[in-house]
Amino acid sequence: MSGHSGSHNSYNPPFIFALAELRDRLQWKAFVFPDTSTGSYIVVLIHNPQAQLSFAKAGDDKWTWLPPHYLHEDCMYKDGILYAVNTKGEIHAFDLSGPVVTVKTIITAPEHYDCDSRYIVQAPWGSLLLVFRIVHDHDLEYEYWKTTETKICEIDALWNKIELTNCLRDHVLFLGHNLSLCLSADEYPALKANCSYFTDDNFLWTVGYKNNHRDVGILKLNDKSREEFVSPQLWSNCPAPMWITPDLRKINAMGSMSQQL
């Protein structure tokens, strides 16, 4: 694995790994987004070195690399545009709709927090949310990592206004090693409004500390209080836990098919 990225060359020789280990070292996150313009799908990878981006559309025979930006932590796709946030709080917009990919930095968060992860989330009411996940309580020696706070910057649809908020009213966040979501608690009564549901999303925990205490829970946005989501701790700690959103229509269709068989 080379250390080369779109912004600089590595002066160190490439690292050599067995294929099974290379997969863990190279791939960080994978996203599958619906592509409404074609009625198909697009897959986006955040991968090493330097947490860069690559994508592939249905039918492609190779990945398309997206330099020069790096150190990305989360992304979302909408109307042909891939939005990605990096460790600096910068949001980059990659236009994937044409034959040539173009990119521009559309906003930089006015404040940078001492946080573990950053997320970019589409809010149902049209705004974009830049979410900072803050860890004040941690100890690497004892493999302990605990999320204590979530800060949210709400960005209006015109990219003109950034406002810090701790109130999502009747909505909830889902954060972790997966697509970031903002859902309505009115539509899902089992969810607790104005809360952040989170799972592990730390690179060290993914590739190194695979048998440690997991950072999973529910955080209330108004008073920062936390409650456990899984108790006792998960018996299987690898791979990192993820949120999965099932398509109930397809589940019903598969159930009918299995009954016929």
CB-based contact 24:15 (threshold 8 Å): no
Nearest to 1 by CA among 26, 30, 29: 26
CB-based contact 92:69 (threshold 8 Å): yes
Q: In the prediction, which pLDDT does 252 show?
A: 55
What is the average pLDDT score of the chain?
Answer: 83
Q: In the prediction, which pLDDT does 233 show?
A: 67
Q: In the prediction, which pLDDT does 208 show?
A: 66
Highest mean pLDDT of the ranges 33-47, 111-125, 140-154:
33-47
pLDDT of residue 258 exceeding 60: no
The model's pLDDT over 129-160, given as tens digits with 9 standing for 90+, comes to 999 998 876 665 555 678 888 999 998 877 77
Q: What is the CATH number of domain 19-108?
A: 2.40.10
pLDDT of residue 113 exceeding 70: no
Can you give the pTM of this predicted structure? 0.85
Nearest to 131 by CA among 92, 156, 105, 164: 164
Q: In the prediction, which pLDDT does 185 show?
A: 92
The Cα–Cα gap between 10 and 105 comes to 25
Nearest to 206 by CA among 95, 116, 126: 116
Residue 2's pLDDT band (boundaries 50, 70, 90)? confident
Hey, what are 95's tokens?
């236009």
Residue 249's pLDDT band (boundaries 50, 70, 90)? low
Q: In the prediction, which pLDDT does 5 show?
A: 78
pLDDT of residue 81 exceeding 60: yes
pLDDT of residue 248 exceeding 50: yes
Choose between 98 and 249: higher pLDDT: 98
The model's pLDDT over 168-227, given as tens digits with 9 standing for 90+, comes to 989 999 998 888 999 999 988 889 999 999 988 877 766 666 677 778 889 999 888 998
Q: In the prediction, which pLDDT does 144 show?
A: 67
The Cα–Cα gap between 140 and 117 comes to 16
Choose between 150 and 257: higher pLDDT: 150
Domain ranges of the chain: 19-108, 113-244
Instruction: Kindly report which listed range (82-86, 102-106, 155-159, 240-244) carries the lowest average pLDDT score.
Output: 240-244
The number of residues making up the chain comes to 261
